[in-house]
């Protein structure tokens, strides 16, 4: 077998013959030219025989993968797994500290015998919705829906639109509902179908009618809406963030204490504006229980200018610039006091460990310049009552803001008790996408309940054939078709009776 180079050279020599070919020279060169072509054909056939099985195996493998991904059973399993982990994200507190999980999910005794803080942190159950494996489940479920849409729903819609006339009586035998009438006409059947919103097509002695094609489109939109919801959830996990702040009244702050954030969240964190807590207060019931707590918040720019102002409370957040501020907690941050005629100074209040017996805050007020002695102030809430203990630890009395008491020959006046508001801050750019998906899902589910009904008719000689089928609501469709047939029989009976009556009248007149 000759090399490609020698074949190319011989071909060039053959093509570059300057003189015209005589029949004799052409006859002499023809075997050589055919030999070159045969060698090239052998190479092509050999290469194609090697590549053809490879591409066939790739196509076969691709079909198998698509069938597997588009399998309804896989989609159901993925949906159940996603629902299970979503429930775990609701059951297990998200985004808390290590100490919180160690305290609430200890190793001994383990919750349910196996759920400990190590399992929670190891599997990422403390931030389920942003873990790589949860996002991978969403992507795989979306891929399954997409494959199912293109391999099942679109072909079903295409088949529903590709109708044909039934021109033989045997075609009606395969229909679930069909009948054979002795009389009837396509002209009398057409208005009966159009009255029931059927779209009618006629050709010679055949008729086809359909309605409810939107019911075939509905499942496609259901899948599309679910894909939109999944896309919104994934986008929110990648671009959203979650933060918490505890801010005293009168203080301004910027969002800094970010607990959890997606890899693309930085553009959504406020940088050119912040918030100021103008006031925080709590309303109490007559029994002394907390009724509601409020925060008067102002949105300010970097120069301190107010851009917006709202009062928030539980279930009424502040929304600004795509970021939502929720009222979730409260604290006692400080107390302002005066000793005799000294200037007013502010002391921080610390939360004390009560062993689960309620909430208690305390501070220590020095009453000597060398800080060798002091009194203790304790408070349980923001109602304003503080308990005063002398240096010996004895209860002296109770005092409210604006009131004073004598302790160790010192006039102690409580000027104000300052509370802090606990804010939960969230940004989730995927929420509008998710809401759009849910809205489309509700509409598409309603569309899916519309029945796709089809009716065929054939007029052949004295026989009239009518039949139909539907994809759901079989009983309703059967009643509708029976009513159409009954009305058709009644019309045909009237048409037969009228000529007979006219003939009788003409005979009597004659």
Find which of 49-58, 89-98, 191-200 is predicted with most confidence, using mean pLDDT.
191-200
Give the per-residue pLDDT at 497: 53
Give the per-residue pLDDT at 2: 42
Give the per-residue pLDDT at 492: 67
Closest CA to 366 of 393, 339, 340: 339
DSSP 287-351: TS-EEEEEEEEEEEETT--EEEEEEEETTB-EEETTEEEEEEEEEEEEEEEEETTPPPEEEE-EE
Closest CA to 214 of 199, 195, 193, 192: 199
Judge whether residue 32 has pLDDT over 60.
no
Give the per-residue pLDDT at 199: 93
Q: What is the pLDDT of residues 275-313, one digit of tens each?
A: 999 999 999 888 878 889 899 999 999 998 999 999 999
pLDDT tier, 51 (very low <50, low <70, confident <90, very high otherwise): low
Percent with pLDDT over 90 in the chain: 37
Give the per-residue pLDDT at 15: 38
Give the per-residue pLDDT at 465: 93
428-458 as b/e: b if 16+ CB within 10 A:
bbbbebbeebeebbeebeebbebebbbbbbb
Q: What's the alpha-carbon Rg for the chain, to the nearest Å?
A: 42
Judge whether residue 36 has pLDDT over 60.
no
pLDDT tier, 33 (very low <50, low <70, confident <90, very high otherwise): very low
Give the per-residue pLDDT at 410: 86
Of 39-48, 203-212, 476-485, give the lowest mean pLDDT range.
Answer: 39-48
Find which of 100-104, 391-395, 409-413, 453-457 is predicted with most confidence, using mean pLDDT.
453-457
DSSP 64-117: HHHHHHT-HHHHHHHHHHHHHHHHHHHHSPSS--HHHHHHHS-STTPBTTTB-H
Give the per-residue pLDDT at 495: 58
Give the per-residue pLDDT at 55: 58
User: Is residue 265 helix, strand or coil?
Assistant: coil
Of 62-71, 296-305, 369-378, 429-438, give the lowest mean pLDDT range.
Answer: 62-71
Assess whether the previous peptide bond of 10 is cis (omega < 30° from 0): no
Q: Could you give the CA distance from residue 347 to residue 335 in angstroms, rounded to a whole number?
A: 5
Q: Could you give the CA distance from residue 456 to residue 193 in angstroms, rounded to a whole number?
A: 11
Q: What is the pLDDT of residues 442-497, one digit of tens each?
A: 999 999 889 999 999 999 888 899 999 998 889 999 999 999 998 888 876 665 55
CA 327 vs CA 156, 277, 281: distances in Å: 50, 12, 12
Cβ–Cβ < 8 Å for 452, 471: yes
Give the per-residue pLDDT at 345: 86
Q: What is the pLDDT of residues 233-272, one digit of tens each?
A: 999 989 999 999 999 999 999 998 898 888 899 999 999 9
No. of helices (H) and no. of strands (E), the chain: 11, 21
Q: Could you give the CA distance from residue 492 to residue 113 in angstroms, rounded to a whole number?
A: 78
Q: What is the pLDDT of residues 167-178, one digit of tens each?
A: 899 999 888 889
Percent with pLDDT over 70 in the chain: 85
The dihedrals phi and psi of 255, each to the nearest 5 degrees, come to -70, 110
Structure-block tokens of residue 225: 């809406």
Judge whether residue 423 has pLDDT over 90.
yes
Judge whether residue 440 has pLDDT over 70.
yes
Q: Which residue has the tokens 């310049």?
A: 369
Task: Give the per-residue SS3 of 492-509.
Answer: HHHHHHHHHHHHHHHHHH
Per-residue pLDDT, averaged over 189-206, amounts to 92
Structure-block tokens of residue 341: 């005629």
Q: 242 forms bridges with which residues in the sheet?
A: 260, 426
Per-residue pLDDT, averaged over 210-230, amounts to 90
Q: What is the pLDDT of residues 317-358, one digit of tens each?
A: 999 999 999 999 899 999 999 998 889 989 999 988 887 778
Judge whether residue 23 has pLDDT over 60.
no
Give the per-residue pLDDT at 425: 94
Of residues 1 and 486, more confidence is placed in 486
**HSE-up of 21 (CA within 13 Å, CB side)?**
12
Give the per-residue pLDDT at 494: 60
Give the per-residue pLDDT at 8: 42
C-alpha angle with apex 435: 431 to 437, nearest 5 degrees? 115
User: Is residue 262 helix, strand or coil?
Assistant: coil
pLDDT tier, 195 (very low <50, low <70, confident <90, very high otherwise): very high
Give the per-residue pLDDT at 301: 93
Length of the chain: 510
Q: Could you give the CA distance from residue 240 to residue 260 in angstroms, rounded to a whole number?
A: 9
Closest CA to 471 of 157, 231, 182: 157
The dihedrals phi and psi of 71, each to the nearest 5 degrees, come to -65, 130
Q: Could you give the CA distance from residue 451 to residue 64 in angstroms, rounded to a whole number?
A: 32
Of residues 28 and 229, more confidence is placed in 229
pLDDT tier, 509 (very low <50, low <70, confident <90, very high otherwise): very low
DSSP 349-400: -EE---TTS---EEEEEE-STTS--EEEEEESSTTS-EEEE-TTS-EEEEE-
């Amino acid at each position: 077998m000759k090399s490609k180079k020698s074949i190319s050279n011989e071909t060039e020599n053959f093509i570059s013959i300057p003189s015209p070919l005589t029949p004799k020279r052409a006859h002499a060169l023809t075997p050589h030219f055919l030999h070159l072509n045969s060698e090239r054909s052998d190479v092509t056939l050999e290469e194609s025989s090697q590549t053809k099985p490879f591409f066939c195996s790739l196509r076969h493998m691709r079909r198998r993968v698509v069938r597997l991904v588009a399998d309804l059973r896989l989609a159901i399993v993925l949906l159940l797994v996603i629902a299970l982990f979503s429930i775990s994200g609701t059951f297990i507190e998200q985004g808390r500290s290590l100490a919180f999980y160690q305290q609430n999910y200890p190793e001994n005794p383990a919750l349910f015998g196996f759920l400990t803080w190590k399992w929670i942190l190891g599997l990422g159950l403390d931030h389920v919705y942003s873990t790589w494996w949860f996002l991978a489940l969403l992507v795989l479920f979306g891929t399954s829906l997409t494959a199912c849409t293109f391999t099942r729903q679109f072909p079903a819609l295409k088949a529903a639109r590709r109708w044909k006339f039934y021109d033989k009586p045997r075609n009606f035998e395969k229909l679930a509902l069909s009948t054979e009438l002795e009389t009837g006409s396509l002209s009398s059947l057409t208005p009966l179908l159009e009255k029931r919103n059927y779209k009618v097509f006629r050709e010679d002695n055949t008729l086809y009618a359909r309605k409810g094609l939107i019911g075939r489109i509905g499942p496609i939109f259901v899948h599309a809406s679910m894909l939109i919801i999944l896309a919104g959830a994934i986008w929110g996990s990648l671009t959203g963030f979650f933060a918490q702040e505890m801010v005293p009244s009168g203080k301004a702050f910027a969002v800094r204490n970010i607990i959890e954030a997606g890899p693309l969240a930085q553009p959504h964190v406020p940088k050119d504006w912040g918030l100021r807590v103008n006031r925080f207060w709590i309303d109490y019931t007559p029994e002394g229980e907390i009724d509601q707590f409020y925060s008067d918040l102002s949105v300010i720019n970097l120069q301190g200018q107010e851009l917006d102002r709202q009062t928030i409370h539980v279930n009424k957040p502040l929304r600004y610039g795509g970021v939502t501020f929720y009222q979730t907690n409260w604290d006692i941050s400080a107390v302002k006091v005066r000793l005799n005629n000294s200037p007013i100074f502010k002391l921080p209040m610390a939360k004390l460990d009560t062993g689960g017996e309620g909430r208690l805050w305390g501070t220590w007020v020095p009453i000597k310049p060398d800080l060798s002695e002091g009194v203790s102030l304790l408070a349980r809430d923001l109602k304003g009552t503080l308990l005063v203990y002398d240096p010996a630890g004895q209860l002296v009395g109770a005092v409210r803001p604006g009131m004073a008491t004598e302790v160790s020959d010192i006039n102690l006046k409580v000027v104000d008790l300052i509370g802090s508001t606990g804010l939960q801050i969230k940004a989730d750019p995927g929420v509008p996408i998710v809401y759009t998906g849910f809205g489309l899902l509700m509409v598409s589910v309603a569309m899916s309940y519309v029945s796709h009904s089809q009716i065929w008719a054939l007029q052949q000689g004295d026989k009239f054939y009518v039949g139909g089928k539907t994809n759901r609501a079989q009983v309703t469709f059967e009643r509708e078709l029976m009513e159409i047939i009954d009305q058709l029989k009644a019309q045909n009976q009237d048409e037969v009776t009228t000529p007979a009556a006219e003939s009788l009248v003409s005979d009597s007149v004659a």
